[in-house]
Amino acid sequence: MRKSLFIIADIHLMESNANITEGFLLFLAKVKKEGSALYILGDLFDAWLGDDMLSDYQKEIAEQLLELSQIIPCYFIAGNRDFLLGEDFAKKAGFKRIKKESILLAYNHKKYVLMHGDTLCTDDIPYQKYRKCVNNPLVQLFYRHLPKYVKYRLAKHLRERSKATNQKKSQAIMDVNQQAVELLAEKDKIDYLIHGHTHRPNLHKISLPTNHLAYRMVLGDWEQKGWYIQIDEIPQLIQFTWGNKTITPLKVLSEATLFPDFIKRE
Q: Annotated binding site, which residues?
A: 10, 12, 43, 80-81, 116, 124, 162, 166, 169, 197, 199
Beta strands in the chain (DSSP E): 4-8, 35-40, 74-77, 96-98, 102-107, 110-115, 192-195, 202-206, 214-218, 226-231, 235-243, 246-253
What phi, psi does 66 have (nearest 5°)? -65, -40
Binding residues for substrate: 80-81, 124, 162, 166, 169, 197
Q: Which helix or strand (DSSP H or E) is residue 149 part of?
A: helix 148-168
**Cα distances (Å, whole numbers) of residue 16 to 3, 61, 100, 262:** 34, 14, 31, 43
**Cα distances (Å, whole numbers) of residue 18 to 13, 24, 40:** 9, 10, 20
Q: How far apart are CA 129 and CA 131, in angstroms?
A: 5
CA atoms within 13 A on the CB side of 119: 16
Specify burial of residue 37 (Cβ count, 10 A radius: 0-12, 13-18, 19+): middle
Task: Provide DSSP, 59-70.
Answer: HHHHHHHHHHHT
Binding residues for Mn(2+): 10, 12, 43, 80, 116, 197, 199
Q: How far apart are CA 130 and CA 118, in angstroms?
A: 11
Residues in the chain, how many?
Answer: 266
Specify burial of residue 248 (Cβ count, 10 A radius: 0-12, 13-18, 19+): exposed
Note whether 238 and 227 are within 8 A (CB).
yes
